[in-house]
Amino acid sequence: MILIKAALTLLCLIATLWGAMAFYYQFPHPSARALVAGAWVVLGLSSSLALWGWPKPAMALFGSCFLLQLLWWHSITPRADRDWAPEVAQLATGHYSGDWATLDHVRNFNWRSLDDYDVRWERRQYDLSTLQSVDMLLSEWGVKGIAHVLVSFGFTNGDYLTFSVEIRKERDEKFSEYGGFFKQFEASIIAADERDIVRVRTNIRKETVGLYRVNLSPDARRALFIAYINHANQLARAPAFYNTLTANCTTVVYEMLQKIVGGIPLDYRLLLSAYLPEYLHRLGATAQGVGIIALREQGAINARAQAAAGADDFSAQIRRGVPGVD
């Protein structure tokens, strides 16, 4: 009986913690969120203590309240009609026929600072028969073990198109790792020119960015490009929530590649994404014969990106010396 009560108490405490966070991030009246979350904590702790003296009433009360909370939680659905931040105001969409792919809403902002930029959304066409490379970029901003993952496709004419799975922020909204667990953000796929999406990280935000050439067969490269288009179209049709754990910038790419290549092992570095170079190196997906230390040192692009600034050949300059790039 004691073990059963202990297990119920643990479940009650877990539900209390989750419920408090859910109310804190999603209760419809922001000014009352802390108060409602606090009241939920009081209810949960009181029920946990009552389980040891009056288990049936405590279970009935807390269980009923938790069921109501779950019904409320299920009613929170993603939306497409919020006041979005300018850099995610448009979602990438596209279509393809034969070797040609057309992308709408390709972002090509000219960033002078985080608050000063030219807004440019473009339609671009790509010949998939000339798709010759796939690069992974990792952007770190000071949270140990965590990096944002971008995937960039290179073509024989020197063009590069970068895809990024990102939160779709509202205007003046800031990213929260914890909020990403609790339906705070919708998900978006941004397709962008590297002079926008890479340069804003290296030159404007001063994040630490590494670039790594990924070994994929021509068929896999093409399939991954098309998978991004399909996923982008799906998000445009049916909004979905970003989730820090299950639907983020790394796991979405992993799921697409798993369908294309198959047999890719799960690993803790899919969550601690700053260590993805070691993961790819172990899988043999990086430049052959190059150690991980050299991969990281030669893949660090910040200095080259800052020197290239707004150069037309920005993409070529940031790749100079990167292992695996001819």
Q: What is the pTM of this model?
A: 0.92
Q: Look at residue 166 in the predicted model and tell me its pLDDT.
A: 95
Q: Write down the pLDDT at residue 126.
A: 98
Give pLDDT, residue 269: 93
Band (pLDDT 50/70/90 cuts) for residue 201 is very high
Kindly report, residue by residue over 54-110, the tens digit of the pLDDT. Answer: 777 878 899 999 999 999 999 999 999 999 999 999 999 999 999 999 999 999 999
Q: Which residue's structure tokens are 């997906």?
A: 285
Q: Quick one: angle between helices 251-260 and 218-237, nearest 10?
A: 130
Residue 178's pLDDT band (cuts 50, 70, 90)? confident
pLDDT of residue 7: 87
Stretch 212-231: mean pLDDT, rounded?
Answer: 97
State the Cα–Cα distance between residues 2 and 40, nearest whole angstrom.
Answer: 25
Residue 266 is given by DSSP the state P
| Mean pLDDT lowest among 37-51, 124-138, 188-202 | 37-51
Reduce the DSSP state of residue 82 to 3 states and report it: coil
pLDDT score of 245: 87
Compute the average pLDDT of residues 40-67. 87
pLDDT of residue 1: 65
Give me the amino acid identity at 221. R
Query: What pLDDT, on the 0 to 100 scale, is given for residue 53?
Result: 77
Report pLDDT for 13: 94
What are the tokens at 219?
A: 């068929």
Over range 297-315, report the average pLDDT.
95
Confidence band of 169 (pLDDT split at 50, 70, 90): very high
Looking at residue 323, its pLDDT comes to 96
Confidence of residue 17 (pLDDT cuts 50, 70, 90): very high
Q: Is the pLDDT of residue 224 over 80?
A: yes
State residue 143's pLDDT score.
Answer: 86
Q: Rounded distance, CA 289 to CA 118, Å?
A: 42
Q: Give residue 51's pLDDT.
A: 79
As a whole number of angstroms, the distance between CA 235 and CA 91 comes to 8
